[in-house]
């Protein structure tokens, strides 16, 4: 199935092809994605409505998050992710748990490559969302993770963060495997809290770092 202009632009932002502050030009996007300008115009309007894009004079730029927006996003992300882990501990099939474990095992090879680890991290969290078996929760988490694309790079770039993040992932999977709903929620809360703390330290050290 061919992707629409909205999806292609969103994926380009998520992949870092367009970063916060970058101008999005209708004609350039149409040429890049091989579509006409009308669907690109509609996609840009939709992304502006969703606060993914912002006005800069007459131009549209990729939005960025200030400190308060970042804190608000993490509050919501923490609660929804913890709920997803709790439900996964209750509903995940053995096959889903095995897939989560395989992801962790494979991701150990990515330590030292923050970009690859960031992609793997998103994949891991998405798998937990799906294992919750709650479509409405998955939809809300998709919106939250879409906003995470407005963060410039990855908190996994911090020294030693890759290894500790995978250890945190392991604690989450162990709790899901054993059906420990409270333990899974607590482990995921701790994981998101540590990611937020790491990001704040990176920001304080000079320069907004992104997704993790």
Q: Is residue 125 part of a domain?
A: yes
DSSP state of 23: E
Residues 133 and 52 grouped into a single domain: no
Alpha carbon distance 89, 57 (integer Å) = 48
- pLDDT tens sequence across 76-115: 999 999 999 999 999 999 999 999 999 999 999 999 898 8
Is 125 in the same domain as 197?
yes
**pLDDT in single tens digits along all 212 residues of the chain:** 558 999 999 989 988 889 899 999 999 999 999 999 999 999 999 999 989 999 999 899 999 888 899 999 999 999 999 999 999 999 999 999 999 999 999 999 999 898 889 889 999 999 999 999 999 999 999 999 889 888 865 777 788 899 999 999 999 999 999 999 999 999 999 999 999 999 888 878 765 444 55
| Residue 128, pLDDT score | 98
Can you give the pLDDT at residue 52?
93
Task: Tell me, yes or no, whether 209 lies in a domain.
Answer: no
Could you tell me if 55 and 75 lie in one domain?
no
Residues 118, 46 share a domain: no
Of the three residues 33, 62, 91, the one that is the final residue of a domain is 62
208 Cβ partners below 8 Å, 6+ apart?
20, 64, 151, 152, 202
Note whether 93 and 126 are same-domain residues. Answer: yes
Tell me whether residue 212 is in a domain.
no
Do 199 and 183 fall into the same domain? yes
CATH at 197: 1.20.120.530
- What gap in Å lies between CA 95 and CA 101, rounded to an integer? 10
Q: How many Cβ atoms from other residues are within 10 Å of residue 71's Cβ?
A: 12
What CA–CA distance (Å, rounded) separates 44 from 125? 27
Asked if 87 and 124 sit in the same domain, the reply is yes
Same domain? 74 vs 163 = yes
- Tally of domains within the chain: 2
pLDDT tens column, 18-29: 989 999 999 999
**Domain CATH for 32:** 1.10.10.10
Question: Looking at the structure, do residues 186 and 147 belong to the same domain, yes or no?
Answer: yes
Hey, what's the torsion of the CAs at 204, 205, 209, 212, to 10 degrees? -80
Residue 104 near residue 166, CB atoms below 8 Å? yes
In a domain, 211, yes or no: no
Same domain, 108 and 46: no
What is the rounded radius of gyration, in angstroms, for the C-alpha atoms of the chain? 18
Are residues 111 and 33 located together in one domain of the fold?
no
17 falls within a domain? yes
Evaluate whether residue 133 is within a structural domain: yes
Same-domain status, 51 and 79: no
Q: Which residues form the domain of 9?
A: 5-62
Q: Which of 30, 62, 94 is the last residue of a domain?
A: 62
């Amino acid at each position: 199935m061919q992707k629409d202009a909205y999806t292609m632009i969103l994926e380009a932002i998520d992949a870092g092809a367009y970063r916060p502050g970058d101008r999005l030009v209708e004609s350039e996007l149409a040429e890049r994605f091989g579509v006409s300008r009308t669907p690109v115009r509609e996609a840009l309007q939709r992304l502006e409505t969703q606060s993914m894009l912002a006005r800069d004079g007459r131009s549209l730029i990729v939005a960025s998050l200030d400190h308060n927006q970042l804190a608000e996003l993490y509050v919501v992300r923490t609660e929804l992710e913890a709920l997803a882990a709790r439900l996964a501990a209750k509903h995940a099939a053995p096959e889903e748990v095995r897939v989560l474990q395989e992801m962790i095992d494979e991701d150990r090879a990515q330590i030292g490559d923050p970009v690859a680890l960031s992609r793997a991290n998103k994949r891991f969290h998405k798998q937990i969302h799906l294992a919750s078996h709650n479509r409405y929760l998955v939809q809300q988490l998709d919106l939250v993770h879409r906003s995470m694309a407005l963060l410039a790079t990855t908190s996994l770039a911090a020294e030693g963060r890759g290894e500790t993040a995978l250890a945190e992932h392991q604690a989450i999977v162990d709790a899901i495997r054993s059906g420990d709903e409270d333990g899974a929620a607590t482990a995921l809360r701790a994981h998101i809290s540590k990611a937020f703390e790491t990001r704040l330290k990176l920001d304080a050290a000079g320069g907004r770092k992104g997704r993790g």
